[in-house]
Amino acid sequence: MVNKKSFESMSIIVLAIVSTTLMVSTFLENLPVSAQTSLSDQTNNDIVLLSQRYNNEEFSDKIVGEVLNNGTSTADFVKITASFYDTNGLLVGTEMSYADPYTIEPGSKSPFEIIISSDSIKKDGENYEFTLQWRDIDGNDKSSRVLAETSGTGASDNKDNNDNDDNNSENEN
């Protein structure tokens, strides 16, 4: 016989699982479809990913890279978010950081470093993609999605992808 307190606890757990499943499912359904593109095709975007590398560190993993302001005006609050997926394409987690400096003048580059603190990302992450977000001079929020051609983000793997000619990109302005 299940008492009232354990029934309420089980109900909360079931609701949390269903809610999380629906959020991930909705997120994945709403992702735009990307076409294969090259770095030269990214030039239509104001902010482009020039390079990225996943580094396994002794105490924490991280992604280091560089973005370029390819636009004609200053980009402010440039944020880079990495979304990690398991072998089934399900979202495992996200990590983010700002470019440093986060205000980038036209034609200028800025490095970034995303610290991977989630154990589930390190353990189950197989693929990742980037979302680049920024604010233009008129205060409009802009974004661009770039798929990384790197897989196997597990802690035992070594990643290096400085050549992004095969990246996918989609402007989500």
Least confident stretch, 68-72, 91-95, 168-172:
168-172
Residue 150's closest CA among 14, 49, 76? 49
**45 — pLDDT class (breaks 50, 70, 90):** confident
More confident residue, 86 or 32: 86
Half-sphere exposure of 152 (CA within 13 A, CB side): 6
Is the pLDDT assigned to residue 16 strictly greater than 50?
no
Across the range 2-17, mean pLDDT stands at 51
| Strand-by-strand arrangement of the 91-98 sheet | 91-98, 76-85, 127-135, 141-151, 168-171
CA dist., res. 98 & res. 110, Å (int): 10
What type of residue sits at position 161?
N
Across the range 87-107, mean pLDDT stands at 96
Across the range 31-40, mean pLDDT stands at 33
Give residue 42's pLDDT: 52
Is the pLDDT assigned to residue 52 strictly greater than 60?
yes
Give residue 124's pLDDT: 93
Give residue 131's pLDDT: 96
Give residue 167's pLDDT: 39
Across the range 62-70, mean pLDDT stands at 95
CA dist., res. 121 & res. 108, Å (int): 31
Give residue 22's pLDDT: 36
Give residue 156's pLDDT: 35
